[in-house]
Structure 1
Amino acid sequence: MISTYANEKIKVTAYERAKHGNSCSGDTHVFIESSDYVVCAVIDGLGSGEGAFQSAIAALNVIQSHHHLAVSQMVGLCNDALGQKRGVVLTVVKFDLKEQLVDYCNVGNIGFVMYLPDGKTIQPVPARGYLSGKKQTFAQNSFPYLKDSVFMLYSDGVKKKPSKQMVKDLAIGENGSDQVLENDWFAADDVTILFGKLY
């Protein structure tokens, strides 16, 4: 499944594919926009199938209801909602469109990389663990970005990360974007990947 979101400040294309043989994916994504910010997240329910799906949807619902909060607070509330579920790993990023800052919070193996037009790369090291309702604290980091920065947010179904040029092309919808999920980048697993460009 391919979804595209765009406004004058950002364009995001999301690709999702369930593990072969499963009727539903344990991965999901979030895109929420307001006049001042955009929130993007990739959520991976532990395992696959219905149990993973239910965990991912529980976290998605929290983010949709509380996107006005700081990313670390959103992640904390996601954790609170998962006490009786299988659990998730996730990354949440929030783009402050006025200040040109991105706030980042992660738990588990959901990757994020941003390429700035000045040649810099932002690629935080993911935090180990997962959300399951167990009490824990969540770190939040902030990074400045520039106009024309591109980024990728992806679940662990991506076994081979696309090149910088490929991310740039896919962020603006070029270079065979309709064939992304047929690519050999991906493992035999649920896959969610977001490509975005900031304007």
Structure 2
Amino acid sequence: MIHFKHEQLEAYAFQMAKEGNHYCGDSFYMTASDDYFLCVLADGLGSGEYAYESSRAVTSVVQSNPEEDVHTLMEFSNRVLLNKRGAAVAILKVDFAHQMFEYSCVGNIRFYAYTQTGNFIYPMPVTGYMSGRPQKIKTQSFSYEPQSRFLIHSDGFAQLQSKKLLNAYASMSTLANKLKSSQASKTDDVTFIVGNLL
């Protein structure tokens, strides 16, 4: 489990490869500045080394261009997947000053956000996957309140009552460990990132 701490955000990330694989086909990257938090999760098609190669190409290009907006980063991600196996890709960028975040996803990665006033945000992803071919990209913007929580996960994640869980635990570490203990899949790679916007 990775613990990511920033003045305006706390997050935990967990990743587990499919049983028998040395490579996890999922890759993620998180960074923060005084102005923003940026997170990308990519799930390479299939599993193993070639899935990892695709997902890692996505996180690398996002890591190299953190100042870009989400739509541009999605276009960059699609471009680097040309002649690779392909990947589902989700990118989240939080603007601290305006208490807004942008989110975009192509493929079977899921994202949920829950605010202190009870709003539940669940942007629908674009179906399919990125592979370098022309791709429809849908970027959405949402406002958030202090102490809003979010969860983003790949499709190997054991399905839980996300809304209830995001509101059920006082501490982020307790929530993250509860989510981790629920992940018992041996048939797929699994990655989740859970966070609190302070």
The answer to which of 5-14 and 131-140 deviates more is: 131-140
User: How many percent identity over aligned positions?
Assistant: 34
Q: Indicate if the aligned counterparts of 1:160 and 1:186 stay in contact, CA closer than 8 A.
A: no
Q: Deviations over 1:31-61 (max 9, x none)?
A: 0111100011211000000000000110010
The aligned amino acid for 1:79 is: N
Match of 1:174 in 2: 174
In 1, the alpha carbon distance for the partners of 2:109 and 2:65 equals: 21
Contact 1:72 1:138 in 2 (8 A): yes
Aligned to 1:150: 149
CA offset at residue 102 of structure 1? 0.6
Correspondence for 1:135: 134
More divergent stretch after superposition (129-138 vs 72-81): 129-138
Aligned mates of 1:96, 1:23 — CA distance in 2: 36
Mind listing any 5+ residue stretches in structure 1 that lack a counterpart? none
Q: How does 1:1-199 map to 2 (within 5 A)?
A: 2-168=1-167, 169=169, 172-174=172-174, 177-178=176-177, 180-183=179-182, 186=185, 188-199=187-198
RMSD of the alignment, in Å? 1.7
Shift of 1:137: 3.5
Distance 2:182 2:14 in 1: 12
Cα distance in 2, alignment partners of residues 170 and 49 from structure 1: 36
Q: How far apart, in 2, do the equivalents of 1:138 and 1:167 lie?
A: 28
Structure 1 outlier segments of 4+, above 2 Å: 161-171, 177-182, 184-188
- Partner Cα distance (2:182, 2:121) in 1: 25
Residue 179 of structure 1: CA displacement? Answer: 6.1
TM-score (norm 2): 0.93
Query: 1-side partners of 2:34 and 2:183: how far apart?
Result: 38
Q: TM-score, normalised by structure 1?
A: 0.93
Moved more, 115-124 or 161-170: 161-170
Taking structure 1 as reference, are residues 174 and 42 closer, same or farther at Cα in structure 2, changes over 3 Å only? same
Distance in 1 between the 2:86 and 2:32 partners?
Answer: 26
Q: AA paired with 1:20?
A: E
**Distance in 1 between residues matched to 2:44 and 2:84, nearest whole Å:** 9
SS in structure 2 at match of 1:76: helix
SS at match of 1:39: strand
**Structure 2 spans left out of the alignment, 5+ residues:** none
Instruction: Output the amino acid matched with 2:160.
Output: K
Residue range with higher mean Cα deviation, 184-193 or 84-93: 184-193
